[in-house]
A and B are shown apart, each in its own frame.
Chain A
Amino acid sequence: MADQKDGNDRKTTVLEDLKGLKEVVKVKTQEQVEELKKPQETQLYRSIFRIKHDEEPRNRALSTLNNLFFHIHPAKVNRDATRYGYTWGLGGITFYLFIVLVFTGVMLMFYYHPTKVQAFRDILYLENDVPFGRLLRNMHRWAAHLMVMAVWLHMFRVFMSGSYKRPREFNWCVGVLLMVLTLLLSFTGYLLPDDQLGFWAVTVGTNMARATPLLGHQGPFGPQLGMTPYNDVRFALLGGSIVDANALLRAYIWHCIAIPLIASVFMGVHFWRVRKDGGISGPSPVMLESEAKN
């Protein structure tokens, strides 16, 4: 376009190029502005999102299917399944809270040493000196409580809507294990501030492990199997016979690495099975007693 007046491919001299520069810049700038008015058609945008975002059913579907984060969903869902009134949104809220907890948890890890000398001071430091440190800790704490509440209420909803029935029996079992992992995550985090509250809660909790049948030194048939305070299941949990430095380290590793990893695997299975079992359970059309198959 810049060469319109010549219309040929004669090689130009540098001087001529410089003379035409003003015109070229003007035209190119106009082109650039026009292009930026449609950012969705830029090379950059297309390289990231891979598809056109036109108002077409096909592109709507692709926007879900071609996105790593969204392809957890099917392209289309039952019209009534999007109602809050059916699912109460609690499974998704639980997952969202898990993400919030991972995010705030990683931030907290930057300031925390799992040692008897440092742990409690790190909390004081977080609360009083770290910018937004108190907010961070509060959010982590309350999100953990909210997650336990959301998990329980999610289980309540799934039961009441009969969503554990065929073919979703196994996913209900995965869900039960995820609930147990949620409680364990919350409980292992309880010890980490290394204050009286966590110390005694974990002392009370792990004292029960003494009484494990066969594996605890105070449990039925434990002593007969050679269990002592120094080799039983409680010792394994605490890394010692009392709640001390090793217990703090073990709680930290379980809380920050081991259980989140295990829970993530189970979550993957849980979400994958939701899809493989035919999407969320309903709201399905009601059946009558006379139609119940044997």
Chain B
Amino acid sequence: MFGDWHQLWVIISTPDNIPIVAMLGLVPFFTWFAFHNMLANDRLIAQLEADPQLARTHHRTTYPYNSRWERELHTNPFLMRKELLAAIIITIILMVWALTLNAPLEEPANASVTMNPAKAPWYFLGLQEMLEYFDPWIAGVLVPTLIIIGLMAIPYIDANPLGNGYYTYHQRRHAVWTFLIGFEAIWLVLVCIGTFIRGPGFMWYWPTQTWDPDRVEFNVNRNLDQILGINGSWISHILPTAWRPEAAIIARALWGIIPMVVYGVLAALFIHWICKRSAYSRKIYSKMSIIQTVTMYIFLITMLFVPVTIFLRLVFRIKYIWETPWFSI
């Protein structure tokens, strides 16, 4: 049943979901705010690029400036009073929040009564959502590891010296887009799907659709090889006799390499095309070392694989692209 606004309200007003509801407002606000600062600086940069004489004398910030002002202020009180103010504001927010909303407490832990839906805390719902699309060792172990290593690799991959300590969009378009896609379009969207869309049985419920604990979903997901009818009949002729009973498995495992390689090449070409688009990014790209380039490609190709897989699953109902006896992707 659609149009069940009460159901939506129940999800939104669940105390532990309040942070992600707040993030729905905070993230767009800070994204706007970052871009507001970026575009202000970009206008100044364009002005200075056009006027080398001005570039030599300009103070180079968009903030109020007076040559008679001291460049530095005393920490006490000019910084500390702001910190105190921030602490007071946060304390007030926290107090009001703690006085108006109670921390949830369910019934005592009981291993024989399963919670439905059984959900992780909101900040891990992105990973739990990935469990729907990937095997547990990928969603639960490999992806978090890659996210952590990938984040830590960012400063060492990003060879662009511009935009160090000031907001700019034009000078670091690729970096900004990469982070917006990775953090907002993938991570936060997955968190929101896990929070607002997934209901009992972790099934897909559109907003305002009533949660139904008795709902049964028929699994219609098929592997890519099943859709294309890869059954190993052609390979069994060339295999040793002893291996022939396993022909279908071997054919599937071998065939699966093809779409993975095709995806990798297409994604790499796409990234290469992006990197070559402007004169400045060509310059940055050409001075990157082999390790930097290879690392960047591996992480970007892997990151883009997540939305591609989710798209294939949700739209074309494809379960695995590459199935082997040891792992499946």
3 smallest CB-CB distances across A and B, nearest first, come from A208-B140, A282-B165, A285-B60
Interface of A is mostly: helix
A230 lies within 8 A of chain B by Cβ = no
B216 lies within 8 A of chain A by Cβ = no
A226 lies within 8 A of chain B by Cβ = no
With most chain B CB atoms within 10 A of its CB, the pick from A74, A135, A183, A197 is A197
Contacts known (A169-B155, A176-B151, A196-B113); A96 close to B166, Cβ less than 8 A = no
B243 lies within 8 A of chain A by Cβ = no
Contacts known (A208-B140, A285-B60); A70 close to B75, Cβ less than 8 A = yes
Q: Establish whether residues B164 and A82, one from each chain, have CB atoms under 8 Å apart when the complex forms.
A: no
Q: Establish whether residues B119 and A159, one from each chain, have CB atoms under 8 Å apart when the complex forms.
A: no
A47–B172 CA distance with the chains assembled, in angstroms: 53
A260 lies within 8 A of chain B by Cβ = no
A143 lies within 8 A of chain B by Cβ = yes
Residues from chain B with Cβ under 8 Å of A173 in the complex: 152, 155
Q: Establish whether residues B63 and A83, one from each chain, have CB atoms under 8 Å apart when the complex forms.
A: yes
Residues from chain B with Cβ under 8 Å of A157 in the complex: 30, 34
State the Cβ distance, A284 to closest chain B Cβ, in Å: 4
Chain A 49-88 interface mask (CB, 8 Å, partner B; 1/0): 0000000010011011000001001111111111111101
Which B residues, 243 to 271, have Cβ-Cβ distances below 8 Å to chain A?
none
Contacts known (A135-B99, A186-B121, A286-B166); A79 close to B26, Cβ less than 8 A = no
A96–B90 CA distance with the chains assembled, in angstroms: 9
Residues from chain A with Cβ under 8 Å of B124 in the complex: 183, 187, 205
Q: Establish whether residues A73 and B111, one from each chain, have CB atoms under 8 Å apart when the complex forms.
A: no
Residues from chain A with Cβ under 8 Å of B158 in the complex: 164-165
A253–B106 CA distance with the chains assembled, in angstroms: 23
| Closest residue on chain A to residue B152 by CB atoms | A173
Which A residues, 95 to 116, have Cβ-Cβ distances below 8 Å to chain B?
96-97, 100
Chain B 102-114 interface mask (CB, 8 Å, partner A; 1/0): 1111111111011
Which A residues, 177 to 228, have Cβ-Cβ distances below 8 Å to chain B?
177, 180, 183, 186-187, 190, 193-201, 203-205, 207-213, 216, 218-221
Contacts known (A193-B105, A197-B106, A288-B48); A219 close to B156, Cβ less than 8 A = no
Q: State the A residues within 8 Å of B (CB).
A: 57, 60-61, 63-64, 70, 73-86, 88-89, 92-93, 96-97, 100, 120, 123-124, 127, 134-135, 137-143, 145-146, 148-149, 152-153, 155-157, 159-166, 168-169, 172-173, 176-177, 180, 183, 186-187, 190, 193-201, 203-205, 207-213, 216, 218-221, 242-243, 281-290, 292-294
| Closest residue on chain A to residue B91 by CB atoms | A100
Some 24 contacts from A to B, beta carbons below 8 A apart, are: A73-B80, A75-B74, A76-B73, A79-B73, A82-B82, A127-B102, A135-B99, A138-B103, A149-B26, A156-B183, A160-B34, A162-B162, A162-B165, A197-B16, A198-B109, A208-B131, A212-B140, A212-B141, A285-B166, A286-B44, A287-B161, A288-B55, A292-B161, A292-B283
A289–B30 CA distance with the chains assembled, in angstroms: 26
B61 lies within 8 A of chain A by Cβ = yes
Q: Establish whether residues B109 and A288, one from each chain, have CB atoms under 8 Å apart when the complex forms.
A: no
Q: Establish whether residues B71 and A208, one from each chain, have CB atoms under 8 Å apart when the complex forms.
A: no
Residue among B23, B79, B151 making CB contact with A82, cutoff 8 Å: B79
A85–B61 CA distance with the chains assembled, in angstroms: 13
A100–B91 CA distance with the chains assembled, in angstroms: 9
Contacts known (A82-B73, A145-B19, A200-B114); A165 close to B163, Cβ less than 8 A = yes
A155–B137 CA distance with the chains assembled, in angstroms: 27
B123 lies within 8 A of chain A by Cβ = yes
Q: Establish whether residues B73 and A146, one from each chain, have CB atoms under 8 Å apart when the complex forms.
A: no
With most chain A CB atoms within 10 A of its CB, the pick from B76, B93, B139 is B76
A156–B35 CA distance with the chains assembled, in angstroms: 12
Contacts known (A63-B76, A287-B162, A289-B162); A243 close to B111, Cβ less than 8 A = yes
With most chain B CB atoms within 10 A of its CB, the pick from A74, A84, A93, A165 is A165
Q: Establish whether residues A203 and B19, one from each chain, have CB atoms under 8 Å apart when the complex forms.
A: no
With most chain B CB atoms within 10 A of its CB, the pick from A100, A135, A161 is A161
Residue among A75, A172, A204, A216 making CB contact with B152, cutoff 8 Å: A172
Residues from chain A with Cβ under 8 Å of B16 in the complex: 145, 197
A71–B78 CA distance with the chains assembled, in angstroms: 15
Q: Establish whether residues A199 and B111, one from each chain, have CB atoms under 8 Å apart when the complex forms.
A: yes
Residue among B83, B94, B128 making CB contact with A139, cutoff 8 Å: B94
State the Cβ distance, A193 to closest chain B Cβ, in Å: 6
B280 lies within 8 A of chain A by Cβ = yes
B185 lies within 8 A of chain A by Cβ = no
B327 lies within 8 A of chain A by Cβ = yes
Q: Establish whether residues B165 and A204, one from each chain, have CB atoms under 8 Å apart when the complex forms.
A: no
Q: A93-B87, A204-B119 are in contact. List 17 more A-B contacts (CB 8 A).
A: A77-B72, A78-B72, A138-B97, A138-B101, A162-B164, A164-B154, A186-B121, A197-B16, A197-B106, A200-B119, A201-B120, A204-B118, A285-B166, A286-B61, A287-B162, A288-B49, A292-B160
Residues from chain B with Cβ under 8 Å of A165 in the complex: 155, 158, 161, 163-165
B171 lies within 8 A of chain A by Cβ = yes
Residues from chain B with Cβ under 8 Å of A148 in the complex: 19, 123
Residues from chain B with Cβ under 8 Å of A137 in the complex: 103
Contacts known (A63-B76, A120-B109, A289-B280); A142 close to B327, Cβ less than 8 A = no
Q: Establish whether residues A210 and B152, one from each chain, have CB atoms under 8 Å apart when the complex forms.
A: no
A199–B299 CA distance with the chains assembled, in angstroms: 34
State the Cβ distance, A92 to closest chain B Cβ, in Å: 6
